[in-house]
Amino acid sequence: YEAINKGIRVATGDVIGLLHSDDFFYDNGVVSRIAERMKITRADFLYGDGLFVNPNNTDKVVRNWIGGSYRLWKVRHGWLPLHPTCYIRREVVNRLGLYNESYKIAADSDLLLRYLITGGLTTTYLGEYIVKMRMGGLSTDSARRKKMWDEDIRVYASHGMAPTLTKLEKMAWKVPQFVLALLKR
């Protein structure tokens, strides 16, 4: 997250979005559609859908992340948009701050909670796939599950949420994503 924060500090655009090293855009026109949607809606925050794919066969979908419509109650119950599908206006990032580098895995959850719960942002959902993400990153590595659990608990507690309950709710939001991916095979 230190490197991401450095990148954000030197970025020159009006909108900030991340594409991690193992991820790739769903298609060649997605950035144009993101820009157009942000222009039309004047939203502060845009998110969309994403696919988690097998690291060795990116045509094999492991998890199908459909973001769905934004609702604050969903955020308060563990739902968050898929981090690499989020595009945020620079002035929002300047006002609400960068990633909390004390987290090694859950800084994205902390940032999204901070922005969506307390930021008063206008939010829009682009109902299409934005990214394909290879499984095996920090947040999907089974060897790091304990650290991820601990960091999520700390994030939820820091935002005044019931930490264990919210973590369990977060896990429950993911179940349909795996089922949907299995059904589409």
Q: Is the pLDDT of residue 138 over 60?
A: no
Q: 137 lies in a domain?
A: yes
Query: pLDDT > 70: what percent of the chain?
Result: 95
- Least Cα distance to 68 among 181, 179, 177, 178 occurs for 177
Q: 184 lies in a domain?
A: no
Q: 77 lies in a domain?
A: yes
Q: 104 lies in a domain?
A: yes
How far, in Å, CA of 40 to CA of 34, rounded?
A: 10
Q: 34 lies in a domain?
A: yes
Q: Is the pLDDT of residue 102 over 90?
A: yes
Q: Is the pLDDT of residue 176 over 80?
A: no
- Least Cα distance to 163 among 63, 105, 91, 78 occurs for 78
Q: Is the pLDDT of residue 160 over 60?
A: yes
CATH number of the domain that 36 lies in? 3.90.550.10
Q: 183 lies in a domain?
A: no
Mean pLDDT of the chain: 91
Task: Look up the pTM and report it.
Answer: 0.89
pLDDT band of residue 183 (cuts 50, 70, 90) is confident
Q: Bridge partners of 16?
A: 88
Average pLDDT on 128-134 reads 96
Q: 146 lies in a domain?
A: yes
Alpha helices, DSSP H, located in the chain: 2-10, 30-41, 72-76, 90-96, 107-118, 145-158, 163-183
Q: Is the pLDDT of residue 141 over 60?
A: no
The pLDDT of residue 135: 86
Q: 121 lies in a domain?
A: yes
In order of 87, 95, 119, the CA distances from 139 in angstroms are: 20, 27, 25
Tally of domains within the chain? 1
**Domain that residue 119 falls in:** 2-178
Write the pLDDT tens digit of every residue in 108-124: 999 999 999 987 899 99
